[in-house]
Structure 1
């Protein structure tokens, strides 16, 4: 997967320190620059690994649950669970190393369906609930056979080198232990005899009982976490429903306001049209009246002209007199 898909900043979580160390050796031999953070390292070694990964000098950080909490690294694109954790709380802390402060991220888990069935049911239950808010989703992905065969060939090619390096490290550790014991020399016997005698030790049944109690405690803690998440999601559902109702109410009020403004505009337009139509009608009536008056005056003048064309008129005494115009009368006066 790292050779073909996940080439950015990636944190790989393992359950055991030995697994983490072997993966680091394998990655570096396959030209995948990686560092590790686990319990066998000193504080300086852990800090150096953290600096290399956070600065981008290497792309892969392989670690145990020692780095699942309190580790804040920006731009982590992917978290891979090489081994799934035993509890949901540990899983949440692991995948929380990516998608920091609203950024996007991917969490990949290698699942053994027989061994990891219980924890996967809890993960799917929580992720399904969160998916209603489109925060995260769980998808199953099968790796193509060609990629698997290529990975097997690559691992087989460097397997002997990895085993040789592990053997050399074990031999070096044995030499260091022997030198430490030899340097202690005469104080070894004194330190052994000075130790207080053990009063008791845990039996196998007691260890099983304590492991069962610890497992039950983790499961109860996981159930509490699931309940808390479900309550938070219910609260988000209620808030979202309230926001949707408020948005619908505001849209309805805005729609009614626009409809009212549109109706008022239509009423004003209709009133103006009616007023203009009335003015037009009144103007037409006035024009018709004026036209009729002009026609009546014209007819009257025509009738008067017709009577004047006869050339004479009778006076009150019944005698006919020739009609004289005003111009003729004026000429006679002069």
Structure 2
């Protein structure tokens, strides 16, 4: 194994795990998290009681099939001289073979969440009642891939008095909720909380001015710079396979790994790349987590991911365990924001701008244009072969049904903890969440939901829907019939004789027309006339206004008679008496 000194996460996690405490570990990718939980597990299993019978003691959950196989290989290498058995439960492999392995009661089971729940529900001899240790490796990836419901179901199937170890490269809110659900006062170990890249990694960026030139830039890079031991990451499975065809026509030795391949094809591609039979491994984000491939010199990002965490996992396939490595990323205009985030987390001396001669890019573009008809022909031929294989499979299935009908129908039906509708809704939600990580994906996500096909209903739901439709139609007919009966009865009621019929001739032509009212002329009173204006037009002093000096204002008594100076003085004296104003 060539282990001499433990890594930081191993130095912190192994002593705590040996004490039986729950461990929550977070470290940069490529820091040896697999050995951090595998070594204490093997140490504890060395002292197990053989007289208690064979039981499943350890369960390790991984997000991908390749990571489960790699984890099993590491465990078998560490326990080469120990009496410990392993079982790998992943999709794409025969269920019967796995059921036979589970009957032997292996000590350690390494599985993906979907296949594990399938065995819990449908394999009678499989149980987790005697489980001692539960390990969740790359927990954030499992949650982002839509395995939240499956993880909760697995945790409910495990005994409560167990030890739980959760390891992840990133800590998110979903991971925190999973920690609260599955762990009991865990010891938190954070080795790289700043989310930085490896120290020995050199990052290079190539600016793309036209999106149509990406394939030419990639082919030129592979021809001039990255000639061997190179992993190229793509977002889409279709584009990954298309570039595999282009590489084959250009003479490059390449293998592909993505979700459209079977498990045997994916493992075969990994084997060829590890053994050096091919120089390039074209992959989607399936291969961005946990895979430890020795000797990877270069990682190329054909298109940038939507989050900085995914970028760190991609470039983490090289420069592992203090080795040197290089990453080359093709940057367009939508990737400028992510580029700034990468620059903040990187050493300025380890970031470079790579220039590619334009004449070589132009020559490669012309060559790819010439290869387009051949690429289209190869893709059409593969599509036809795929349809032929699907038809042959249907024929074989029908033939088996005719020959072994009684045996097939006698088998118990496989069950799942969710209905088909719930599974489809969870799958759609995870796909929308994954598409939201990429820039400019809101339109595509809305189109996908807009043009999403209706979920087919089974016979029971169809009959129920038809009955509800008929019930609503009958209810609508009954309401309309009752309204018609009420209107007919109301029309047949006799009119009262005392009320005379209205005179149609005197009625206005339109119902909305109203009779016009004549405006009566009102004689103007004294208040309508403005003060200070005579009827003849001459101006007088305003009544009730304060008089000014020089104004000759005659005073009148109560009877309206004028007063002389004497009476005026008497009145003035009365007014200016002892009383207060």
Structure number with greater Rg is 1
1:19-30 mapped onto 2 (5 Å cutoff): 19-30=239-250
The corresponding residue for 1:13 is: 233
Q: Answer yes or no: is the 8 Å Cα contact 1:30–1:154 preserved in 2.
A: no
2:393 corresponds to 1:180: yes
Pick closer, same or farther for the CA change 1:175–1:99 going to 2, 3 Å. same
How far is 1:176 from its partner? Answer: 2.3
The corresponding residue for 1:83 is: 303
- The CA deviation string for residues 273-325 of structure 1, in whole angstroms up to 9 with x for no partner, is xxxxxxxxxxxxxxxxxxxxxxxxxxxxxxxxxxxxxxxxxxxxxxxxxxxxx
Q: Answer yes or no: is the 8 Å Cα contact 1:13–1:81 preserved in 2.
A: yes
Q: Answer yes or no: is the 8 Å Cα contact 1:27–1:34 preserved in 2.
A: yes
Q: What CA RMSD, in Å, does the superposition of the two structures yield over aligned residues?
A: 3.4
The corresponding residue for 1:104 is: 324
2:257 corresponds to 1:37: yes
The corresponding residue for 1:147 is: 360
**1:211 aligned to 433, 439, 456, which one?**
433
2:344 corresponds to 1:125: yes
The corresponding residue for 2:383 is: 170
Q: Answer yes or no: is the 8 Å Cα contact 1:14–1:20 preserved in 2.
A: yes
Pick closer, same or farther for the CA change 1:214–1:31 going to 2, 3 Å. closer
The corresponding residue for 2:489 is: none
Aligned residues: 204
In 1, Cα distance between equivalents of 2:308 and 2:382: 35
In 2, Cα distance between equivalents of 1:183 and 1:62: 33
1:213-292 mapped onto 2 (5 Å cutoff): 215=437
How far is 1:50 from its partner? Answer: 1.1
Q: Answer yes or no: is the 8 Å Cα contact 1:53–1:61 preserved in 2.
A: yes
How far is 1:174 from its partner? Answer: 1.7
**1:48 aligned to 265, 268, 272, which one?**
268
Structure showing the higher helix proportion among its residues: 1
How far is 1:198 from its partner? Answer: 5.4
How far is 1:199 from its partner? Answer: 8.9
Pick closer, same or farther for the CA change 1:171–1:140 going to 2, 3 Å. same
In 2, Cα distance between equivalents of 1:64 and 1:214: 17
- The CA deviation string for residues 244-280 of structure 1, in whole angstroms up to 9 with x for no partner, is xxxxxxxxxxxxxxxxxxxxxxxxxxxxxxxxxxxxx
The corresponding residue for 2:152 is: none
Pick closer, same or farther for the CA change 1:212–1:149 going to 2, 3 Å. closer
2:335 corresponds to 1:116: yes
Which SS does the other structure have where 2:345 is aligned?
Answer: helix
In 2, Cα distance between equivalents of 1:142 and 1:111: 12
The corresponding residue for 1:160 is: 373
* Uncovered stretches (5+) of structure 2, i.e. residues with no partner: 1-220, 402-408, 414-418, 439-581
- The CA deviation string for residues 112-160 of structure 1, in whole angstroms up to 9 with x for no partner, is 11x2222222112112xx34xx5xx222223211111121122123222
Pick closer, same or farther for the CA change 1:180–1:108 going to 2, 3 Å. same
Could you tell me the TM-score, scaled by structure 1's length?
A: 0.54
In 2, Cα distance between equivalents of 1:209 and 1:25: 27
Pick closer, same or farther for the CA change 1:197–1:159 going to 2, 3 Å. closer
Q: Answer yes or no: is the 8 Å Cα contact 1:77–1:105 preserved in 2.
A: yes
* Uncovered stretches (5+) of structure 1, i.e. residues with no partner: 217-334
